[in-house]
Chain A
Amino acid sequence: MAEAALRGLGSRRRSRRLFAAGMILVGGLGLVAAAAPWLTSYDPDAIVVAHYAGPLPPGGAHPLGTDTLGRDVWARLAYGARTSLFVGGLAMALSLGIGVTVGLVGGYFGGAVDTALMWLVDLVLTMPTLLLLIVLAAVLPPSLLTIPLVIGVVGWTTFARTVRGEVLSLRERDYLLAARALGASHGRIMLRHLLPGVLPGVVVLAALGMSGAIGIDAGLSYLGLGVPLPTPSWGRMVSEVQTYFAVAPWLVVLPGVAVSLAVIGFNLVGYGLIDLLGERRG
């Protein structure tokens, strides 16, 4: 079952190609983020238009135009890659870490441990996230860490419950019973036998979750609660310009395209990994 599930994209040649495409996207993204200062001479936060009279269309000194404050869009996109990768990556790592641990432990041990952990899941799941964010925004000093922390801390329940569900169905399988009979430790059983079994679902969720985090940043920015200003993030760039669709479509579309490319890249890499892993094992 475990190794059968590790097959995502069909034929090996095609899956390798898609994996390569994903790597190129993700690599390109990393490159843009790392090399942002060399890719543009503008300060992404600086209002560079002398007299603001609406966003400038792409061309001339500003290859992608200027935004609703008269800042260079290309500079903000390039530097925004840093923010979005940071926010998405940290949020995802947090949710993944907490969620998989809780799901594995709860599903494997069952009983009181499971009940307590699932109670925690329910609690987090029913927590008023928006209120939590408003309170944190008011109480904490503005920081780039706040958003990924909050997304991470409230976002792990999906992982926990999915992993637990799969562990429940794997728990009584013969090979696990055998491992237990052979005296394998709990930690070893969870890491060596259960974790690989739940991996496909987790990788899919993680890859999707990365996009989710970027999307949540966008939604929060839309409500005025995103990363601290004036830090550029793609989520904020999408949300800032909602009403400019007819007037300056490039403002609305460009950050959206950036988000999509990132999400596609991460997912292709994720599925590719599953396939490559499967090949090695199979």
Chain B
Amino acid sequence: MMALLGYLIRRVFRAITTLLGTTLILFVLVRVVPANPAVSIAGPKADPETLAAIRKDLGLDDPLAVQYGRYLERLVHGDLGRSYLTGRRVTEAIGERLPATAKLGLTALAVGFFLGLLIGIVTAARQGSAADIGVLIATLVGLSIPTFWLGNVLIYFFGYRLRWLPLGGAGALRHLVLPAATLAIVELFFYARFVHTNVGGTLASDYIRTARAKGVPPLRLYFVHALRNALIPVVTLLGLDVAALMSGVTLTETVFNWPGLGRLAVQSVFQLDIPVLAGTVLFSAALVLVANLVVDLLYGVIDPRVRHG
């Protein structure tokens, strides 16, 4: 128990240093790009004096270390600053957008993960069958489709042509269907393929052969014995996937006009709204780190042979 606590403390410490590193990289990147955020605020036609005054006001002319130090100091107090463009608190803007992104991301993840798991196991159990190869081909095609392409095609057919579902936007459950499906399809194929491979390997192992010989029912065999063994890499993937999901969410939100964090982030990148950009990056970074921490802790639960070190 104490070991676990120590481990936890070490991991949280690591996560915090990572976040510091991420924000530092962010500050350097923003500094390196030859663009003036004041232009996004006052418009491209503003005179140089106004732009210079705005820059000075925002503290953009201070040395990088001073800017970064100031940012950290405010961060400690839970202050992410205000948007250059709208003047709103970044925490407020993120809080407003978070529910939409959470709804979209979690739905897609849940649907994609469980359907993927199911398809992966079923095809693994019927290795080499026509269905297996059909799923393989479908998976490969599915994985080669860019998110925005799929999103646009879905909108075109189901939103525009057939009029079954709304043309983008948020609100009712109907609005969620297409964006969530777009994201989930990619997730689904990914997990299906991966589970297939890993469960396939386990099914052929002596341990399963023994279990089969002992007369363990097939369903129990697949879903308990084989799955448990194949779960570590899959769960690792789940943790990593949070990062991929965040970038998938970004494109999906843009295509479907979904009012979430991803669109906020893209907008802030293009307009160099640094506080909003830093806020969204920090937030998604924290999310990714937490997800990975949870995954690493899960290792121990799934496979006691893995020691936390």
Contact = CB atoms under 8 A, between A and B. Distances in A.
Given a CB threshold of 8 Å, the question of whether A touches B is answered with yes
A233 B295 CA distance: 37
A129 B194 CA distance: 25
Contact of A122 (B129, B141, B289): B289
Given A10-B129, A242-B148, A5 B33 contact: no
A157 B285 CA distance: 14
A4 B251 contact: no
**A contact patch SS:** helix
Contacts of B18: 119, 122-123, 126
Given A219-B148, A256-B145, A157 B240 contact: yes
Given A10-B132, A162-B233, A218-B149, A126 B144 contact: no
21 contacts: A7-B127, A8-B197, A14-B128, A119-B17, A122-B18, A122-B289, A125-B292, A126-B284, A134-B270, A135-B32, A162-B240, A201-B233, A215-B144, A215-B146, A219-B148, A222-B146, A235-B146, A239-B146, A252-B149, A264-B140, A264-B141
Contact of B153 (A6, A126, A212, A245): A245
Contacts of B200: 5, 7-8
Given A127-B22, A157-B240, A245-B152, A165 B299 contact: yes
Given A1-B205, A219-B147, A130 B240 contact: no
A142 B182 CA distance: 32
B148 A222 contact: yes
Interface string A211-249: 110110011001100000000000100110011011000
Closest 5 CB pairs of A and B: A10-B128, A5-B201, A126-B285, A263-B144, A165-B236
Contacts of B306: 168-169
A260 B137 CA distance: 9
Pick from B201, B205, B239, B305 the residue with the most CB of A within 10 Å.
B201
Interface stretch (A28-36, A54-62, A110-118, A177-185): A110-118
Interface in B187-236: 190, 193-194, 197-198, 200-202, 204-206, 232-233, 236
A169 B305 contact: yes
B127 A9 contact: yes
Given A14-B128, A245-B153, A256-B145, A7 B201 contact: yes
B266 interface: yes
Nearest to B248: A219
A223 B153 CA distance: 18
Interface in A195-216: 200-201, 204, 208, 211-212, 214-215
Interface of B: 10, 14-15, 17-19, 21-22, 25-26, 29-30, 32-35, 127-129, 132-133, 136-137, 140-141, 143-149, 152-153, 156, 190, 193-194, 197-198, 200-202, 204-206, 232-233, 236-237, 239-240, 243, 247, 250-251, 265-266, 269-270, 277, 281, 284-285, 288-289, 292, 299, 303, 305-306, 309
A50 interface: no
A267 B32 contact: no
Contacts of A53: none
B33 A139 contact: yes
Interface string A242-272: 1101100000100010011011100100010
Contacts of B30: 131, 135
Contacts of A218: 146, 148-149
Interface of A: 1, 4-11, 14-15, 18, 110-111, 114-115, 118-119, 122-123, 125-132, 134-135, 138-139, 157-158, 161-162, 165-166, 168-169, 172, 200-201, 204, 208, 211-212, 214-215, 218-219, 222-223, 235, 238-239, 242-243, 245-246, 252, 256, 259-260, 262-264, 267, 271
B140 A122 contact: no
A1 B230 CA distance: 11
Given A122-B18, A211-B140, A131 B250 contact: no
